[in-house]
């Protein structure tokens, strides 16, 4: 008999909680159950099929007959619990098409707006303490200002193919190791000296990306790994059979997105240098920097962008062929030609109501 490796125990009074964080199930254990579980943790061979408590612990998945493989996870238990505990969150219903998604989305917005909103912004208690700032003046015809002010999340794409040249520029400037930053004289330790357009925690470049190529001229549709040092792609998988939106929380309005990137983190690389759970936070901060850089570059190329963290981790890991490894998907960004609408046509139609 084996103890499920994905449990933690909260020592609450009067009864401890056993939390199966992988399957998102919690049990409150009465004293005789927690005493028996302690005995079985100490020696799983004490399992007795005539003991009613043992059978209940087995049926609850707290014990298992076969040894469950725990994923390869560097060393840090706290971040492992958080990461796996927030993976594959059960979704009551993933919409199967754009109409279902639109109705579900608007219902959700109505539910949220029916609750009192937390106060927006930071309150200014003492009006006399305000320090007025000069009017912001952006340099005219400045490309960065232009990209910053034009970047916008769009949910209506035309599906037009991207050129391989644009894809190369996007990848190099967002995730590539910049030849322009090859600076031996900077005094940076060898092995930590690769530089991107975004900052990276400890210079580790722990985040990586996979390209989801749907409509790119000269590139077969499929999933590709991007290699930032060599600036090359290698094919990992065919294009998924289900529409892209099905993979991304049922958000079917991006089914025709020509290009997407999954941003992943190599947790083992972070912990190699930073042996503390806090390193886990840095993976998300780094992914955010990379996501914004990607969006600004895409905007500067005249494209529109979209992003999401809504996906079922297991499905994405399988698509990227990284299941059970210390590399985990964190975020998705994509871009393409768009009519510039923040909302898809179906939502706009629903908001407009039936036309008479």
Ligand X SMILES: Cc1cc2nc3c(=O)[nH]c(=O)nc-3n(C[C@H](O)[C@H](O)[C@H](O)COP(=O)(O)O)c2cc1C
Which residues sit at the interface with ligand X, rule CB under 6 A? Answer: 152-153, 155, 251, 307-310
Q: Nearer Cβ to ligand X, position 204 or 296?
A: 296
Q: How far is the CB of 341 from ligand X (least distance, A)?
A: 11
Q: How far is the CB of 90 from ligand X (least distance, A)?
A: 17
Q: Nearer Cβ to ligand X, position 103 or 152?
A: 152
Q: How far is the CB of 153 from ligand X (least distance, A)?
A: 3
Q: What are phi and psi of 93, to 5 degrees?
A: -155, 120
Q: Nearer Cβ to ligand X, position 34 or 315?
A: 315
Rounded Cα gap, residues 333 and 193, in angstroms: 26
State the residue for tokens 């919409």.
95
**Helix, strand or coil, per DSSP, at residue 228:** coil
State both tokens at 337: 């030609």
Rounded Cα gap, residues 253 and 256, in angstroms: 8
83, 317 Cβ separation under 8 angstroms: no
Q: How far is the CB of 141 from ligand X (least distance, A)?
A: 23
In 3D space, the residue among 243, 250, 251, 236 whose CA is nearest the CA of residue 319 turns out to be 236
Q: Nearer Cβ to ligand X, position 76 or 286?
A: 286
Q: Nearer Cβ to ligand X, position 57 or 319?
A: 319
Q: How far is the CB of 286 from ligand X (least distance, A)?
A: 14
Query: Alpha carbon 98 to chain centroid distance?
Result: 22
Angle at 246 between CA 334 and CA 349, to 5 degrees: 80
């Amino acid at each position: 008999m084996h103890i499920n490796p994905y449990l933690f125990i909260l020592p609450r009074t009067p009864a401890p909680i056993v939390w199966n964080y992988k399957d998102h199930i919690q049990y409150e254990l009465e004293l005789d159950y927690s005493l028996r579980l302690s005995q079985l943790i100490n020696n799983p061979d004490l399992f007795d099929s005539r003991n009613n408590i043992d059978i209940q612990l087995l049926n609850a998945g707290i014990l298992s007959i076969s040894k469950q493989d725990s994923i390869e996870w560097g060393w840090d238990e706290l971040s492992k619990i958080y990461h796996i505990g927030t993976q594959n969150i059960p979704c009551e219903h993933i919409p199967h098409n754009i109409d279902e998604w639109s109705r579900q989305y608007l219902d959700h917005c109505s539910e949220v707006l029916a609750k009192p909103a937390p106060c927006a912004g930071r309150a200014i208690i003492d009006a006399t303490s305000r320090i007025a700032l000069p009017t912001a003046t952006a340099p005219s015809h400045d490309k960065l200002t232009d990209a910053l002010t034009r970047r916008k999340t769009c949910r209506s794409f035309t599906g037009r193919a991207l050129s391989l040249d644009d894809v190369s520029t996007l990848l190099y400037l967002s995730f590539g190791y910049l030849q322009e930053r090859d600076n031996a004289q900077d005094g940076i330790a060898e092995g930590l000296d690769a530089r991107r357009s975004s900052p990276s925690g400890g210079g580790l470049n722990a985040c990586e990306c996979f390209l989801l190529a749907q409509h790119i001229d000269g590139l077969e549709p499929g999933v590709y790994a991007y290699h930032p040092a060599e600036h090359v792609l290698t094919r990992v998988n065919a294009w998924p059979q289900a529409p892209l939106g099905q993979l991304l929380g049922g958000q079917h309005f991006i089914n025709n997105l020509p290009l997407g990137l999954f941003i992943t983190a190599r947790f083992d690389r972070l912990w190699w240098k930073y042996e503390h759970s806090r390193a886990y936070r840095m993976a998300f901060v780094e992914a955010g920097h990379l996501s914004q850089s990607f969006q600004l570059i895409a905007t500067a190329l005249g494209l529109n962008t979209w992003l999401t963290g809504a996906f079922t981790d297991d499905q994405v890991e399988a698509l990227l062929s990284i299941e059970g490894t210390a590399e985990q998907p964190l975020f998705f960004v994509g871009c393409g030609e768009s009519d510039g609408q923040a909302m898809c046509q179906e939502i706009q139609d629903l908001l407009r109501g039936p036309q008479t």
